[in-house]
Amino acid sequence: MTETTPPWDALATGVLRLPSGRLVRGRGLRKPLPEGPRPAFALHLLGRRPPPVDWDSIWVRWPDFRLPADREAAAEALREAWTRAGSERVEVACGGGVGRTGTALACLAVLDGVPAGEAVAYVRAHYSPRAVETPWQRRYVGRFVGRF
């Protein structure tokens, strides 16, 4: 982490530690912004454009319980989030912070070296047991290509 962007507190609610040590916070946008440091970058996964925030963000059109409308754009946004998590506070967020967020976190785990077939279990063990809610979200993670 850079001096200007200290990492997330690894024990804070919603923070996932990837095998490389990168820390990413997942959360639901319907809940209040947690106290403490703000993200430097956010990946918002919603069916419609989110309200503006005071930090860098990318919006991926991703309807609730579904998959991203543009899978290539989603993969590019996920790669950016993973890269930035190496030196910045990155947040991944959808409405509730479970299905789409869990799916995206599992894809970040794949980018971080977790085998695609184990990524959902990794996120459920280290983020939320309810993460990745639908069979097609699990299939999306299982087929996610972690190469750049």
User: Which residue has 């106290």 as its token pair?
Assistant: 35
- CA neighbours within 13 Å on the CB side: how many for 19? 13
* Domain chopping of the chain, boundaries: 15-142
Q: Where does 15-142 sit in CATH, by number?
A: 3.90.190.10
- 95 HSE (CA, 13 A, CB side): 11
pLDDT single digits (tens) 91-131: 999 999 999 999 999 999 999 999 999 999 999 999 999 99
Low-confidence ranges of the chain (pLDDT < 50): 1-3, 148
pTM score > 0.85 for this model?
yes
